[in-house]
Amino acid sequence: MILIDGKKTSAEIKSEIAARVAEIKQEGGKVPHLAAVLVGNDGASQTYVGAKVKACHEIGFESTLVRLEETVSEEELLKVVEDINENPDIDGLIVQLPLPKHISVEKVTDKIKPEKDVDGFTPANVGRMALNWPAYVAATPYGIVELLKRYNIETSGKHCVVIGRSHIVGSPMSILMARNGYPGNATVTLTHSRTQNLKEIAQTADILIVALGKPHFVTADMVKEGAVVIDVGIHRIEDASKKSGFRLVGDVQFEEVSAKASAITPVPGGVGPMTIASLLYNTLLAAEKKVYN
């Protein structure tokens, strides 16, 4: 069984990006600049944004963090996005989700210039991805594709079952796996909470990608012998044996499923670290005008 190490792979990608940034500086070029907008005081969001800003500094990017109060109006947030859109020094823009309930995520996402949408969430980038045109691909799906590639996992002609249909992971993942190219050329079944016979469908998967958001949902009896299993979930559950009182687990029952899988991502340390690495890669593409030129 191969343990697909996202922590190690993300470190490799960051190192590659840092080397390119050093070259850009040496050539007198423009250093990539990522702006992040954080609304409110959600603990998890602050942690995620902090990690992104820290990663920027580690690899030589410039970064700007815009903090807004939970009570900020939708109009004020849209104005902040517009200002960043028009700032030629900023290459990439992310607005950390979730947003307060009084603000429309769709309106904010649609306001971001596709050229600066390094999260890959705007309709323009989702559409370009579906057409297999140059696009910023959403960070988590891109990270999964990169793991499959770097671990030389065969995808052509394989049956890939995706569990979960979110706009952030499941839906784009199903498109990427079906596209003509590598990783891709798979026969894809997209399943979700209302799928009938989900267990039987999962059992047919050569590649099983689980992004349902339910801890330990996938058990050994749902997995074919020798399948590749990608676990996107991350949950904090109580564990009295740990000093912290909790531990992190995924959507997959790792202990029992890893005994059947040919390759599997752990939680933590699997897909998670790849998300930030992918975001940084998209920002580098934006700075070098590799997608929209």
What is the C-alpha to C-alpha distance for residues 210 and 190, in angstroms, rounded to an integer? 10
> Which residue's entry shows tokens 């590749």?
228
- Which candidate in 14, 91, 96, 116 is catalytic? 96
Q: Which tokens belong to 257?
A: 């499923």
How many Å apart are CA 153 and CA 184, to the nearest integer?
Answer: 11
Whether 113 is a known active-site residue: answer no
Catalytic residue among 14, 52, 111, 158: 52
Chain centroid, CA 246 distance in Å: 24
Catalytic site includes residue 110: no
Catalytic residue flag (residue 89): no
Catalytic one among 5, 91, 117, 119?
Answer: 119
Nearest residue to 193 (alpha-carbon basis) of 219, 164, 169, 222: 164
Contact between 84 and 93 under an 8 Å Cβ cutoff? The reply is: yes
d(CA 38, CA 48): 10
Instruction: Cite the active site residues.
Output: 52, 96, 119
